[in-house]
Amino acid sequence: MVDEVPISTTLKWGKQRFTTTIQPSSSGHSLKLQVEALTSVPVHRQKLLCKSLWKGTLKDDDTIQPNGKSSLIITLIGNADVLVEKPIKERPLFSEDLTPEELWKADHNIWIHKKKILLI
């Protein structure tokens, strides 16, 4: 069995570049964990692209096969920002989300409000 030599890898993320090494035959999930440690982008928000090794985005169960390559460039698409969940009362209300009764009541209240403005 031949010892597997780590692959020198450049990770591009926007305007930033990170240099790291990855082990051949490692899983996509282990690479994503390594990327998370470098960039703070959670695994579930990562899309990793590398035209020379895999087609499309890297899946967790994919195995990295270097095919004789000694260095790679991997592109990361993802955001490290955490989305803040707003309480339901602070979220915008869309008519598509209302029941027919709630929609009628909302339309009726708007009509009454417009009538009051016209009378004033």
Write the pLDDT tens digit of every residue in 31-79: 999 999 999 999 999 999 998 888 899 999 998 887 777 788 999 999 9
Note the pTM of the prediction, 2 decimals. 0.65
**Lowest model confidence (mean pLDDT) among 36-40, 90-94, 106-110:** 106-110
CATH number at residue 70: 3.10.20.90
Q: Specify whether 72 is located in the same domain as 96.
A: no
Q: Specify whether 67 is located in the same domain as 36.
A: yes
Residue range(s) defining the domain that contains residue 65: 7-77
Question: Which position has the higher pLDDT, 110 or 64?
Answer: 64
- pLDDT of residue 119 exceeding 60, the answer is no
**Lowest model confidence (mean pLDDT) among 3-7, 36-40, 71-75, 107-111:** 107-111
The answer for residues whose C-beta is within 8 angstroms of residue 11's C-beta and 6 or more apart is: 17, 18, 19, 20, 35, 38, 39, 74, 75, 76
Q: Specify whether 43 is located in the same domain as 72.
A: yes
Q: Specify whether 58 is located in the same domain as 108.
A: no
- pLDDT of residue 2 exceeding 70, the answer is no
